[in-house]
Amino acid sequence: MNITEIIVVSLIKIVLVIVMILVAVIFLVYFERRISAWIQYRIGPNRVGWKGILQTTADVMKLLLKEDIVPSASNKTLHTLAPIIALFVAFSTYAVIPFGPDVTIFGYQVKLMVADVNIGVLYVLALTSLGVYGITFAGYSSGSKYSLLGGIRSSAQMISYEVSMGFSVAGVLLLSESLNPQKIVLAQSGWMWNAILQPIGFITFVVSAFAETNRLPFDLPEAEPELVGGYHTEYSSMKFAGFFLAEYANMIIASAMITTLYLGGWQIPYIDKLGLGVTLTTLLQVGAFFLKVIFLLFFFIWVRWSIPRFRYDQLMSLGWKVMFPLSIINIIWVACLIMIFNL
């Protein structure tokens, strides 16, 4: 492939991924509302479009038509920048997640990911830590004490949970001996899923992912009863929608990361033994990836409507006194596995 072809293919992939995330967010918001309703013995939005499927579109239309209010006490530049940072981080993280094996289309060897980066996992970790800037800036620039508290909480929470997140990922890296997401997926062939080999690491990673995406039970930055709306109290119109979008996009990324790192990515155990054609196998594998992600997204929503919010001190003690030691135990466990079974 020459340079133009590479650029064209990459552009196509970027557009595809962004459109995919946007569409996914629309459905995600809809399903969040429906599932929450079902859990609370309600029906949920079911009027706009077939079974209410266009509810989110209507909501976005409404937000677009609203006045964009910028508080006079705010720092205008940062106030505008914050949702952009949040969105940018949320979307760019998806670049390194592989949703299928390499395929050949029209004679081109195409990787089913936007960028095959050798340090993909590191890239994701780095970008998600950048994501905290969006929230902190939003809190800082709003000129409101509730926003500021939300922003501060968010940064404290992210820093605490990033530590255990990093350590849980270390377990995965020990097994796959690579930071490349595609190689990590390939290392989990058969039933050698990391979730099965290192259940403790899996749990700590999932819990940290919940904390990183600010989802309940860890949604302290936007705890409504205490902080009005947390960091986005002073946001309205499309800027608010930006945060909303970023939150849901982050959820998708977290699910995709959990799938890639722990649930075997796009792999279906022993599918090559079935002797299906290459095309069919690939399609099934891509389907499997999306199924896993969808299940995790459902899990995110399900947990949100089941578990109450943690108190701030509980959150911190859980992060430092439970999750952190557990993730270190996990590393030792993985090291022992490698020693004993020569994996």
Partner 1 sequence: MELKRREKDLTVWQKLYIPEIVKGLALTLRTMFKPKVTMEYPEIKFQPPSSYRGRPVLVQEENGVERCVACGLCSRVCPALAIEVQAAETELEKERYPKKFEINMIRCIFCGFCEEVCPEEAIVMSKDYELVFTNREDAIYGKDKLLVPVEKLKDRLEFLRKFK
In the complex, which residues of this chain contact partner 1 (CB under 8 A)? Answer: 35, 37-43, 46, 203, 302-303, 305-307
Distance of CA 43 to the CA centre of its chain: 27
Q: How far is the CB of 85 from partner 1 (least distance, A)?
A: 33
Pairing of strands 103-105, 108-110: antiparallel
Report in angstroms how near the CB of residue 258 gets to partner 1 at its nearest: 17
**209-247: string of b/e by CB count within 10 Å (b at 16+)?**
bbbbbbbbbbbbbbbeeebbbbbbbbbbbbbbbbbbbbb
Q: Which of 127, 149, 128 is nearest to 138 (CA)?
A: 149
Question: How near is the Cβ of 41 to partner 1 at its closest, in Å?
Answer: 5
Count CB atoms within 10 A of the CB of residue 295: 14
CB of 314 to partner 1, least distance (A): 11
Specify the residue, 275 or 308, whose C-beta has the smaller distance to partner 1: 308
- Comparing CB distances to partner 1, the nearer of 43 and 69 is 43
Q: Residue 308 Cβ, how far from partner 1 at the closest point, in Å?
A: 9
Helix (H, G, I), strand (E, B) or coil at 184: helix
User: What is the residue whose two structure tokens read 């302290």?
Assistant: 220
For the chain, give the longest Cα–Cα distance. 66
Considering beta carbons, is residue 290 or 302 the nearer one to partner 1?
Answer: 302
The residue among 69 and 307 lying less far from partner 1, judged by its C-beta, is 307
Query: Cβ contacts of residue 169 below 8 Å, gap of 6+?
Result: 121, 125, 205, 261
Least separation, in Å, of the C-beta of 38 and partner 1?
Answer: 4
Name the region of 107 (left: φ>0; alpha: ψ -120 to 50; beta: rest).
left
Nearer to partner 1, 52 or 221 (CB): 52
- What is the rounded CA–CA span in Å between residue 256 and residue 254? 5
Q: How many residues does the chain have?
A: 343
How far is 340 from 342, CA to CA, in rounded Å? 6
Residue 112 beta carbon to partner 1: minimum distance, rounded to whole angstroms? 32
Q: Minimal distance in Å, beta carbon 199 to partner 1?
A: 11
Residue 83, beta-bridge partner list: none
The rounded distance, in Å, linking the Cα atoms of 101 and 112 is 6
Between 14 and 294, name the residue whose CB sits nearer to partner 1: 294
In the complex with partner 1, the residue whose CB is nearer, 27 or 302, is 302
Helices (H), 177-198: 181-186, 194-197
> What tokens appear for 136 in the block?
């902190």
| 212 alpha-carbon distance from chain centroid | 8
Q: Which is nearer to partner 1, 96 or 200 (CB)?
A: 200
Nearer to partner 1, 219 or 234 (CB): 219
Taking the C-alpha atoms of residue 262 and residue 165, their distance in angstroms, rounded to an integer, is 13
Residue 305 CB, shortest distance to partner 1, in Å, is: 6
